[in-house]
């Protein structure tokens, strides 16, 4: 097991009706709030009114900025930074999913910084200061509600890049599973695929003596595999929605990666798909992950066989570990297909003409992945396996 420091400081407030008291969580953190949200779902389903009522009742000043698109854009971040400076904003409340939260995080680091906020996404600058942010989560997916990451797309150059800093971890996250009842079916699916990907990025490691976190990761994966079909059939099933939501936050909240080196190649390979073609992150991951598995499993067949047996209930056969490993890969691909997730680039409407460019962009800062280091040619082969 590797050395580690674990400190996830996000306060989680979980359960029915919790969003109605959001202002209680903001007290002591700020007085002038930027209310940041997406394309309108929070207004359509009445959440906006409840949030505004809580802010007004507590006497908090607020200005609002909606319009965050999935795969959040840098141009809106610039607008948010200006708005915050003009209105002396000292707290940002993100109401939505990963895109809104990531946009809020970018604004939070851009306000006190004199240079271009994109510098944090290219590695040119390190975050030293950030406005505090809080979250009311409306989709179980990205895990940004307690993660130190923010992923932003710069329109010019179609670059989707991330910035990591403990300073942008939200102060609190309000998780009411009922808020996810209104998700379109495909967003529930993409969210589940992203959660599974966050678990598998950590699971596929070459680090030894990680039984404890292996078992936690396997349990979390099995939770999603069991509960996803339930919510697809019965979107208002509180118990199943609640388990997916909590698993989604824990999946990307650092605990499950403690003491082990995660892979993260599939995320990097996917970011080129959503950066250029604006596909949903989770949809891209459902396509890329099985292709990545087929390409790298020989690096550690025993780990893939363990995944097959413990997560997918494949029968153990110590005389034929490779076949067990391959059966695990077939089962995850079949699971994705059975729930309605895409598993090929064609299903995402992605043509083959830019695969080389995507492989080039993906590895421009060096090889990706830790389970197996992948260079441009490797990434290109993975894209080809996903056709």
Angstrom distance (rounded) from CA 161 to CA 240: 33
* Binding at 224: pick from Zn ion, ligand NZQ, none (beta carbon under 5-8 Å per type): none
Burial class (CB in 10 A: 0-12, 13-18, 19+), 33: buried
The answer to whether 147 contacts ligand NZQ (rule: CB under 6 A) is yes
CB 237 within 8 A of CB 345: no
Smallest separation (angstroms) from ligand NZQ to the CB of 254: 11
Name the minimum Å distance from CB 209 to ligand NZQ.
Answer: 27
- Strand-pair category, 133-137 with 172-175: parallel
When asked if residue 157 is in the footprint of ligand NZQ (CB under 6 A), the reply is no
Applying CB under 6 A, among 21, 32, 39, 255 the residue interacting with ligand NZQ is 39
Instruction: List the one residue from 33, 65, 70, 216 that touches ligand NZQ (CB under 6 A).
Output: 70
Name the residue with tokens 């969210």.
191
Binding mask 145-184 for Zn ion (x = CB under 5 A): ----------------------------------------
Determine, following the binding rule CB under 6 A, whether residue 187 of this chain makes contact with ligand NZQ: yes
| Token output for 229 | 């079909």
55 touches ligand NZQ by CB under 6 A: no
Q: Does 257 bind ligand NZQ (CB under 6 A)?
A: no
340 and 283 in contact (C-beta within 8 Å)?
A: no
Cα 42 off chain centre by = 20
| Sole binder of ligand NZQ in the list 144, 227, 268, 370 (CB under 6 A) | 144
According to the binding rule CB under 6 A, does residue 73 interact with ligand NZQ? Answer: no
Contact (CB, 8 A) for 94 and 103? yes
Structure tokens at 346: 């064609």
Residue 194 engages Zn ion in binding (rule: CB under 5 A)? yes
Q: Is 62 helix (H, G, I), strand (E, B) or coil?
A: strand
188 belongs to the binding site for ligand NZQ (CB under 6 A):
no
Q: Per rule CB under 5 A, is residue 272 in the interface with Zn ion? A: no
Given 10, 18, 54, 99, the residue binding ligand NZQ (CB under 6 A): 99
Closer of 13 and 141 to ligand NZQ (Cβ)? 141
194: left (phi over 0), alpha (psi -120 to 50) or beta: alpha
Number of residue whose CB is nearest Zn ion? 194
Q: Please select the residue that binds ligand NZQ; options are 15, 40, 346, 351, rule is CB under 6 A.
A: 40
- Which residue is listed with tokens 């505090």? 132
Question: Minimum distance between the CB of residue 141 and Zn ion, rounded to whole angstroms?
Answer: 8
Decide: residue 347, CB within 10 A, 0-12 exposed, 13-18 middle, 19+ buried. Answer: middle
Return the structure tokens found at 71: 């795969």
User: What DSSP character marks residue 168?
Assistant: G
Q: Which of residues 163-182 bind ligand NZQ (CB under 6 A)?
A: 179-180, 182
By CB under 5 A, is residue 102 in contact with Zn ion? no
Sign of the alpha-carbon torsion through 374, 377, 381, 386: positive
Q: Which does 143 bind (CB under 5 to 8 A by kind): ligand NZQ, Zn ion, none?
A: ligand NZQ
d(CA 154, CA 138): 24
Q: Which positions touch ligand NZQ (CB under 6 A)? A: 38-42, 70-71, 96-100, 102, 138-139, 141-144, 147, 149-151, 179-180, 182-183, 187, 190-191, 194, 252, 267, 281-282
């Amino acid at each position: 097991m590797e050395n580690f420091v674990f400190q996830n400081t996000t306060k989680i407030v979980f359960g029915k009706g919790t969003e109605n008291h959001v202002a209680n969580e903001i007290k002591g953190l700020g007085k002038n709030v930027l209310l940041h949200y997406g394309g309108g779902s929070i207004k359509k389903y009445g959440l906006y009114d409840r949030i505004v009522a809580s802010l007004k009742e507590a006497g908090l000043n607020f200005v609002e900025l909606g319009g965050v698109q999935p795969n959040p854009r840098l141009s809106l971040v610039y607008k948010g930074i200006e708005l915050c400076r003009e209105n002396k904003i000292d707290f940002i409340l993100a109401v939505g999913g990963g895109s809104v939260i990531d946009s809020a995080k970018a604004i939070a680091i851009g306000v006190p910084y004199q240079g271009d906020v994109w510098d944090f996404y290219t590695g040119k600058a390190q975050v030293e200061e950030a406005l505090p942010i809080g979250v009311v989560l409306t989709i179980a997916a990205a895990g940004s509600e307690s993660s130190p990451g923010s992923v932003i797309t710069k329109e010019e150059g179609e670059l989707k890049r991330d910035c990591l800093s403990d300073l942008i971890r939200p102060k609190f996250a309000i998780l009411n599973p009922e808020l996810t009842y209104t998700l379109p079916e495909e967003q529930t699916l993409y969210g589940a695929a992203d959660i599974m990907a966050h678990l598998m990025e950590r699971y596929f490691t070459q680090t030894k003596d990680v039984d404890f976190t292996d078992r936690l990761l396997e349990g979390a994966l099995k939770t999603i595999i069991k509960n996803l079909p339930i919510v697809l059939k019965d979107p208002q099933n509180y118990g199943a929605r609640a388990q997916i939501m909590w698993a989604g936050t824990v999946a990307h909240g650092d605990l499950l990666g403690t003491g082990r080196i995660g892979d993260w190649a599939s995320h990097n390979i996917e970011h080129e798909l959503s950066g250029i073609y604006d596909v949903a992150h989770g949809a891209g991951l459902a396509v890329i992950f099985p292709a990545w598995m087929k390409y790298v499993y020989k690096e550690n067949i025993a780990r893939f066989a363990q995944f097959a047996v413990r997560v997918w209930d494949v029968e153990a056969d110590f005389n034929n570990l490779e076949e067990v490993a391959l059966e695990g890969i077939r089962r995850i691909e079949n699971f994705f297909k059975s729930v309605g997730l895409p598993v090929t680039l064609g299903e995402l409407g992605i043509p083959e003409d830019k695969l080389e460019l995507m492989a080039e962009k993906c590895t421009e800062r060096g090889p990706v992945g830790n389970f197996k280091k992948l260079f441009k040619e490797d990434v290109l082969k993975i894209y080809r396996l996903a056709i």
